[in-house]
C-alpha cells in the first residue's frame, strides 16, 4: 500500500471516532489530537482502529511518536505489508 492509500485509510479510521473530520482541513505536520480535539480515550480508539485496519502492532512505547498525520503515515508505511 502506498502512502496516499495509507493516508486515506488513516483518515477513514479518524472519521469512525470523529465523523466531522474533513481531510482537506487537516494540517499534516500538526498534532491530530489538537486539530480534531480528541481526548485520550478517543486517541486510544484511533490507535486500536489503526491496528485493526492495517494489522500492525503499535506498542504503547510508540504512541508518543504518532502525533501528526505525517508521523502516522510514515510509521505505518514502514510496517505495512504490501
Residue 64: give its domain's CATH number: 1.10.1200.10
The pLDDT assigned to 62 comes to 95
Distances (CA, A) of 9 to 38, 42, 59, 61: 18, 17, 20, 23
| In-domain check, residue 39 | yes
| In-domain check, residue 9 | yes
Task: Grade residue 82 by pLDDT with cuts at 50, 70 and 90.
Answer: low
Domain count, the chain: 1
CB proximity list for 46: less than 8 A, separation 6 or greater: 13, 14, 17, 32, 38
| In-domain check, residue 82 | no
- The position carrying cell 466531522 is 20
| In-domain check, residue 50 | yes
Confirm if 52 and 43 have CB atoms less than 8 A apart: no
Confirm if 66 and 75 have CB atoms less than 8 A apart: yes
| In-domain check, residue 41 | yes
Per-residue pLDDT reduced to its tens digit, 22-71:
989 999 899 998 999 899 999 999 999 999 999 999 999 999 999 999 99
pTM: 0.90
Task: Grade residue 5 by pLDDT with cuts at 50, 70 and 90.
Answer: very high
| In-domain check, residue 64 | yes
| In-domain check, residue 26 | yes
Amino acid at each position: 500500500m502506498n502512502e496516499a492509500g495509507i493516508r486515506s485509510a488513516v483518515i477513514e479510521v479518524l472519521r469512525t471516532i470523529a465523523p466531522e473530520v474533513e481531510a482537506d482541513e487537516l494540517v499534516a505536520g500538526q498534532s491530530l489530537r489538537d486539530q480534531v480535539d480528541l481526548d485520550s480515550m478517543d486517541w486510544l480508539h484511533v490507535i486500536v482502529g489503526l491496528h485493526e485496519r492495517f494489522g500492525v502492532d503499535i506498542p504503547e512505547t510508540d504512541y508518543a511518536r504518532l502525533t501528526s498525520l505525517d508521523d502516522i503515515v510514515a510509521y505505518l508505511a514502514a510496517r505495512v505489508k504490501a
